[in-house]
Structure 1
Amino acid sequence: MPHFTLEYSSNLPIQARDLLLKINASLVESQHFQEIDIKSRAIRLEDVVIGTTPDERAFLHAKLAILTGRSAEVRRQLSERVLVVIQTAQTWPQGLDVQLCVEVLEIDKETYAKAHLAN
């Protein structure tokens, strides 16, 4: 834990692996997670509609799923930390209305199961 998912519209020039590594490093620096426990993935979305106008628009939506038990303040700090990394990770395209957002989801600690198979 945690699980991190990055979804973004295909009209954004994201270097997903590089961005995920930066986010993982920031999560480790938060001292809330062990490095080996962070699982991140990125999903590039081809079929996207934002609003109803044909304007040039794009989005990036990040989901950080963590086990229950952290305060609202810690969850807010984590979402802001991830947002800062995303905002500063690259130069965003000119003339493109880009929406960036981060949400923190809680996974019920009582029902979460995990196995770690290290050979």
Structure 2
Amino acid sequence: MPHCIVEYSQNLEQEVPPADLLEAVKEACIASTLFSVEDIKLRSFPYKSFLTAGKEDAFVHVILRMLSGRSLEQRKQLSHLVLEALTQFSLKDVSFSVEVCEMESDTYVKKVVLSQ
């Protein structure tokens, strides 16, 4: 059930297609054995304007939003797997970061509306 949100500096699109970043995150989530492939939701957001330490340095930041209930060790393993997957790309002068956020099971609601 994770919602995987890949934020990245738009200048990286010349080097790595966003779909490849999403695929790397998905494969890391599968490798964690915490989720089944059909439960993984992925999306990406490019940033046209960005500053890191006062200058336009490239970045990739992944937010993994998942329902509460996983142990700290499981969440740490997941963030390390995602970071490792991202650093497999031959990118230089890029800041990579991964953040795991827990969503409260009691307040999370979902409804899928299908066409008839």
Q: Is 2:107 the counterpart of 1:111?
A: yes
How far has the Cα of 1:69 moved from its partner?
Answer: 0.8
Structure 1 residues without counterparts, runs of 5 or longer: none
Partner of 1:92: 91
Calculate the TM-score normalised by the size of structure 1: 0.85
Q: What one-letter code is carried by the residue in structure 2 that aligns with 1:101?
A: S
Structure 2 residues without counterparts, runs of 5 or longer: none
2:11 partner SS: coil
Alpha-carbon RMSD? 1.7
Q: Which 4+ stretches in 1 moved above 4 angstroms?
A: none
Percent pairwise identity: 37
Partner of 1:29: 31
One of 96, 101, 109 as aligned partner of 2:97:
101
Q: What one-letter code is carried by the residue in structure 2 that aligns with 1:115?
A: K
Partner of 1:5: 5
How far has the Cα of 1:14 moved from its partner?
Answer: 2.6
Partner of 1:80: 80
Following the alignment from structure 2 to structure 1, what is the Cα–Cα distance between the partners of residues 61 and 25? 13
Calculate the TM-score normalised by the size of structure 2: 0.87
Q: What one-letter code is carried by the residue in structure 2 that aligns with 1:99?
A: S
Partner of 1:69: 69
Q: What one-letter code is carried by the residue in structure 2 that aligns with 1:73?
A: E
Aligned residues: 113
